[in-house]
Amino acid sequence: MAATIFSKIIDRTIPARIEYEDDLCLAFHDVAPQAPTHLLVIPRRPIPSLADLDQTDAPLVGHLILVATQVAARLGLDSGYRLVVNCGRDGGQSVDHLHVHLLGGRPLGWPPG
């Protein structure tokens, strides 16, 4: 897989505001937030998209979700948040590296109308 902006964040050649990291993943603030709180949770291992997962990836995907919930709690998103995973260009995926969006800080459907 070719180097992506996310792999460059992992290897620290591009700076990021990292909120959490461990041996399996990183969570960092999105540079183009779509909500008051918008982080990305990415695996360290480059996986292009959801479509590239297999059964052996189940523990990793579960870990990404658990990390997202822990980060949400740490950031005080007690009234709720969304986790979004896009798959493929037509599905809204802009970086070919699996990532979970953590969005919070405003009601779903904001702005109204």
Catalytically active residues are 99
Burial class (CB in 10 A: 0-12, 13-18, 19+), 34: exposed
Q: Where are the alpha helices (DSSP H) in 32-108?
A: 58-74
**Could you give the CA distance from residue 96 to residue 72 in angstroms, rounded to a whole number?**
24
For residues 31, 72, 26, 99, the Cα torsion angle rounded to the nearest 10 degrees is -70
CA distance linking residue 69 with residue 84, whole number of Å: 12
Entry field: residues in the chain: 113
